Structure 1
C-alpha cells in the first residue's frame, strides 16, 4: 500500500509518481544485491505511507508477515505497542495528515532460521529513501525505530549500541535538525520486552516526553485541518 494524504494538487505530482514507482518495484526479486541466489523468495509487496502533509515520520525497519498479508503498516502486536508508546489510537495513527510511515525496507524480507524477521533488504533504501525524504520537506519530527533506521537517519549521532543510542535521546533531539528533530526508539517487537525491563528509564523518562511531542503535533495538525475546512 502506498498513498498520499488527501487530494493531490499539482505540487504533489512528483510524490504520487514516486509512490507509483515504489508500488511497482521488484528490485529485490529481479536485481538483488549479491546476485540471483539472494533474490527475495516471494512476491514483493511494498508498504509505504508517504504524505505531503504529515508532521511526523515513523521510520521503521521492514514489514513483518502480518503486514505483508494486510498491506498496511504495523497491523500486528508491534503496532499495538508502538501506538501505546505514542499515546495514539488507530484513527490517529493511520491519518496521513499526522503520520507518514516509511520503513527502511518496503517489503517483507522473509524469516531467518529461528523464525525471526530478516534485516531490511539492502536494495531498498539506496533506491528510494532519499527520494521519499526530499518530497516530504514539511516533516517536523522523525521517530527512528531500530538499528537500521538509526544508522540511516542519525549519522554520527548514532552510538555503538542501540541501548546507548536510545539512552542518548535528549542529546539527539537537541543536536539533530532543529526544524525536524529526530528521536531514536527500539523496535516495539515483543521480543524486546526484556530490553525494556532492563532499561526502566525508557518507560519512565523517554515515553512521557515522546507522548508529549506527538500530542503537540497532533493538536497542531487538527487545528490546521479545522482552519482549512472553515475557509
Structure 2
C-alpha cells in the first residue's frame, strides 16, 4: 500500500505539465497527522524560487488570518498545504499568475484526501479550490461562497486569496474580518492547544 511519503515523492517528481509551464517544481507540504489543510491556487514566482509554500506577503496575511506563526504554519505535522496546482503556472499577458493547470488537481487531490485522515479543518482559498472541492455547493463566486461560510464551517472554510489585490474586497466586506476571521482563529487555537 502506498504511504503518504510515497505519494509526496511522486508529486514532487511529477512532470505531467512539462512543456506547458515554465519549469515543473512541485511545492507541497503534508504529514499523515496534519490537523489543518490549506488548498490554495498554485505557487507564485517567489514560492517557485524558494520551493516553500506561501513565502510571500500573501503568506504573511494568511498566517495572520489563521492566528499562527511561521513555525506552526510550516510544521507538516500540524498543517498540510496541497494547492490545486503544485507548480508555478507562468505569467499571463498582464503579468499576473496564470490559473493552476487543471490536470494537477485531477491527478493528486483525491489521493491526498485518502491519506490526510486526521484533518479537521480545510481552508479552500480562492475559486479554483472552492469549485473543485465544493462542487454543487459552490455559490457561483468567491464572494458568495465566502459569505456562506457558515454552511461549510467548521470543517471547511472558504477564503478569498490573501493577496494585496484583494484589499478592496476585504474593505467592502467587513463581515470577513469581523465575523469569519475571529471564528477561524478560535478554531485554530482549539486545534493547536
User: Normalised by the shorter chain, which TM-score bucket?
Assistant: over 0.9
Pick aligned residue for 1:216 from 170, 183, 190 = 190
Structure 2 spans left out of the alignment, 5+ residues = none
Tell me, in whole angstroms, the C-alpha distance in 2 between the residues paired with 1:160 and 1:20.
35
Larger radius of gyration, structure 1 or 2? 1
Tell me, in whole angstroms, the C-alpha distance in 2 between the residues paired with 1:98 and 1:14.
18
Contact kept in structure 2, 1:105 and 1:124, CA below 8 Å: yes
What do you get for the CA RMSD once the two structures are aligned? 1.2
User: Normalised by the size of structure 2, how large is the TM-score?
Assistant: 0.97
Pick aligned residue for 2:129 from 143, 149, 152 = 149
Q: CA deviation at 1:156?
A: 2.0
Tell me, in whole angstroms, the C-alpha distance in 2 between the residues paired with 1:186 and 1:192.
8
Pick aligned residue for 1:15 from 4, 7, 24 = 4
Tell me, in whole angstroms, the C-alpha distance in 2 between the residues paired with 1:162 and 1:15.
30
User: Normalised by the size of structure 1, how large is the TM-score?
Assistant: 0.81
Tell me, in whole angstroms, the C-alpha distance in 1 between the residues paired with 2:153 and 2:72.
23
Tell me what 2:38 maps to.
Answer: 58
Count of residue pairs brought into register by the alignment: 193
Structure 1 spans left out of the alignment, 5+ residues = 1-10, 31-38, 175-180, 220-231
Where relative contact order (Cα < 8 A, 6+ residues apart) is larger, the structure is 2
Tell me, in whole angstroms, the C-alpha distance in 1 between the residues paired with 2:63 and 2:98.
23
Tell me, in whole angstroms, the C-alpha distance in 2 between the residues paired with 1:218 and 1:67.
26
